[in-house]
Structure 1
């Protein structure tokens, strides 16, 4: 799998896409299926040939790339809460990498979810419930604990809680991919212009 700047930008966009969906759920109580499906799809990809293939079809991480560009350029739609969550996800994944038992439990949980995906589809409540439980059994036991802010009415909804935990799991999966292709916090701090250029080129290729 390539370790170039586009690969790193794509993996980082995967984190932003999942966290952006979490933020929207927390504030509005709804989710965009086209944004969420690539996040869920990525959870099942073990041996994808490219980073982009982890998320599905070409253009699958457009929302994440748009969010990444907004964060790096300071655009009006920039959301510092999303940036805070992304940083926490990167820290949580780094901690997860030091806990082989939790990693093994996650692999088992993903394998067990394949039959549910095949029977119900990616965005079925049964699949969200499965991954939410998996998140609670593994990542919720590690630090940092990711705190989501939003409308209490939406956050108290059990279905939304399952969706949020599943999307956080997808964000951690993208963070794992980010590390696997050579990404580090130093890339965000010192090479963010390169990442920004790759993200903008990605969107231009899709005429967005």
Structure 2
């Protein structure tokens, strides 16, 4: 059970990390390049050997997500921005359910990701070209499955096409983490009735990271 709770926390941190990056982009026009690469790379591992392998086999790669997870359930941390995070998470989870219900969408997404992997011999995951390709996957395959996720932030920033593509690409990464979360035993009831356990596991993981860095 300990391993299960750990995997649930890591995978949900992947969802939270994606939402935090979307929030940063929408308000500031930039986000952590390192965290962005981790989230986008998570799309490529369609048959992971473990939960952590999706995120490069390093717990530190989802530190932003773990901190966001804790902040989400202790709303003081992000103050008025917590509602945005919650909105994005709920939207991602709804799209994940619709994706799982559509064999056509699953096949199309899998095929698109395999094709993307072949392109990466020449391009890096966070290049403008690749981000545009990932954004198209979200627009063409994921977004038609359910209600559009409304992103809040600076109107001027969100009018920028490159920012729009980054946001869409990261939302797709969020859906991928939501799929993983379900696969390892995550469910919405845990977020309402067992959130304290989830927060404790996330804090324990961060504490272990801090000890490793001493």
Q: Which band: TM-score by shorter chain?
A: over 0.9
CA deviation map 1:109-159 (0-9, x unaligned): 101111332211111011100011111111111112111111111111111
Query: 2: CA distance between counterparts of 1:48 and 1:57?
Result: 10
Query: 1: CA distance between counterparts of 2:78 and 2:153?
Result: 17
> How far did residue 193 of structure 1 move?
1.1
Query: 1: CA distance between counterparts of 2:157 and 2:119?
Result: 25
Counterpart residue number, 1:69: 70
8-17 vs 52-61, which moves further: 52-61
CA deviation map 1:19-52 (0-9, x unaligned): 1101100001112111111101100012222111
Contact 1:3 1:182 in 2 (8 A): no
Query: 2: CA distance between counterparts of 1:115 and 1:31?
Result: 26
Counterpart residue number, 1:95: 98
Once the two structures are superposed, the pairs formed by residues 36-185 of structure 1 within 5 Å of their partners are 36-58=36-58, 59-78=60-79, 79-185=82-188
CA deviation map 1:59-85 (0-9, x unaligned): 110000000001112233252211111
Counterpart residue number, 1:31: 31
Gaps of 5+ in 2: none
Counterpart residue number, 2:200: 197
Query: 2: CA distance between counterparts of 1:76 and 1:67?
Result: 9
Count of aligned pairs between the two proteins: 207
SS in 2 for 1:182: coil
Counterpart residue number, 1:206: 209
Query: 1: CA distance between counterparts of 2:175 and 2:157?
Result: 22
CA deviation map 1:153-199 (0-9, x unaligned): 11111111110100000000000001111111001111111111110
SS in 1 for 2:121: helix
Gaps of 5+ in 1: none
Query: 2: CA distance between counterparts of 1:166 and 1:200?
Result: 28
Contact 1:17 1:67 in 2 (8 A): yes
